[in-house]
Amino acid sequence: MALQELWKNKLRTFLSLFGIMIGIFCIIGVLTIVNSLERNIQNEVKALGTNTIYLDKWDYTAGGGPNYPWWKYINRPVPKYDEMKQIMVRTPSAKYVSFKIDVQDDLEFEDNRLSGVQLYGISEQFNSIQPIEIQTGRYISDAEFNQGSNVMVIGVTVAEKLFGASERAVGKLVSARGKKFQVIGIIKKQGKSMIGGWNFDENVVLPYKYARTIIDEKRSNPLIMIQGLDNLSSKALKDDLTGTMRAIHKLSPKKDDDFSLNDVNDFSAAISQAFVSLNIGGWAITGLSLIVGMFGVANIMFVSVRERTGQIGLKKAVGAKNRVILAEFLLESAFLCIIGGLIGLTLVFLLSIPLTVLMKFPVFISTGNMALAIIICIIVGVLAGFIPAWQAARMDPVEAIRSK
């Protein structure tokens, strides 16, 4: 009966559910974009290495900009390659340890020059911590790492700009900082990162032992990456590394640490906290449209009750209980909101398709958000229809029939 009443007044039904449709579209649309953005950023953070600690003289969690306490870290010693070896020996909780240096310079092939390319000099276990997938050719071998061979793997964007097509790059000799390198592999395309990261598409990777012959190690952002055992938390690994590094640097108990252990998991937690605030802001803004829609539904339900006063009187006269009348109008209000919510969800789904292309990461409606939309619709429907339904349920049958 509730659905029949909605169908009889199509235009009024559409205008009533339009407010709910817009409200659900706004709320679920905002949640969908925010959740998709958070998931994409979290995946990029995880790509920096799971259960991984970055040993550096700089603290990554101290924030940035003019308030960054650079004076506190500037005079700290930079990580050294020999310290990596000591960490491997002294820290049994470490599974993989790798060293990295880098510099930005030009890359040349014949008459072509590519500026601003980041050259990463890495040690053997880097690929175990930060996996590099090869699209064409091969990765650097253990022998090439040990011997310090003049080979490199390059990003797909570098290959396309320097050689015209990535397929032509493998086997070619390129020049960097006055030295010749043989390209042995092309890194699989990763896409632009929103948090910076390694950005392998536009950079190149070469063995550390050869990179140190062309890069000033002290001025090259040296970094040690440590990945813990699979069954060990990053906090336990961090505690072990603190003891190891204090021993390596021969720090007395009274001295502060002169190094920073930056936990990838801390970045993830900070991002989650930031998105909690963003979600709350989204709810506060888009919730207003839902409230407006709820008042629209309540208004139409009052009109509906007034139009059907005679019917209500007849139903009560033949024995309909108050709860039956109440349930009828609450169901009608709830159905109205659910239909509007489903249309709103459909619009969000249709919008997610072009947004996925424009934002270059998957925009998706999670099962949780779909369930949330339906729950919101039911709650809004009950709240919007309760007072009109309560008035209908409490009508005196004689008075209601007379008003017909």
* 282-301 mean pLDDT: 79
| Contact of 203 with 159, CB cutoff 8 Å | no
Local confidence band at 190 (pLDDT 50, 70, 90 cut-offs): confident
**pLDDT attached to residue 352:** 86
Nearest to 139 by CA among 206, 233, 215: 206
d(CA 113, CA 175): 9
pLDDT category, 393, cuts 50, 70, 90? confident
Computed over every residue of the chain, the mean pLDDT equals: 84
Amino acid residing at 215 = I
- pLDDT tens digits, 111-152: 888 988 999 999 999 998 888 889 999 999 999 999 999 999
How many residues comprise the chain? 404
Residue type at position 362: P
Q: Is the pLDDT of residue 24 over 90?
A: no
Q: What is the DSSP letter of 66?
A: G
Distance between CA atoms of 103 and 31, rounded to whole angstroms?
40
Residue with token string 């070619």: 172
Element (H, E) at 400: helix 397-402
Query: Taking the mean position of all CA atoms in its chain, how far away is CA 254?
Result: 41
> Residue 199: which of 50, 59, 47 has the closest Cα?
47
User: Picking from 81-90, 122-131, 258-267, which range would have the lowest pLDDT averaged per residue?
Assistant: 258-267
Residue whose structure tokens are 């062309």? 214
Taken in order 94, 98, 101, 107, the sign of the CA dihedral is negative
Lowest model confidence (mean pLDDT) among 170-174, 215-219, 247-251: 215-219
pLDDT, residue 195, reads: 58
pLDDT band at 63 (very low <50, low <70, confident <90, very high): low
- The amino acid that residue 298 corresponds to is A
Query: Which run of H or E residues covers position 317?
Result: helix 309-317
H helical segments located in 91-216: 126-129, 142-147, 156-163, 208-211
User: Taking Cα atoms as reference points, which of 35, 198, 227, 167 lies closest to residue 102?
Assistant: 198
Please say if the pLDDT value at position 257 is more than 60: yes
This model's pTM is above 0.75 = no
Q: Find tokens 């249709």 and name the residue.
A: 350
Could you tell me the two tokens for 46? 């995880």
**Would you place residue 47 in the very low, low, confident or very high pLDDT band (cuts 50, 70, 90)?**
low
| Of the candidate ranges 262-271, 307-316, 366-375, the one whose mean pLDDT is the lowest | 262-271
Amino acid at 173: L
pLDDT given for residue 58 in this prediction: 86
Residue 65: phi, psi to the nearest 5?
A: 80, -160
Portion of the chain with pLDDT greater than 90, in percent: 20
Q: Shortest CA distance to 340 belongs to which of 13, 29, 30?
A: 13
The whole-number pLDDT of residue 6 equals 63
Determine contact, residues 118/203, Cβ cutoff 8 Å: yes
Q: Is residue 274 scored above 60 in pLDDT?
A: yes
Taking each helix axis from N to C end, the angle separating 264-307 and 367-393, rounded to the nearest 10 degrees, works out to 30
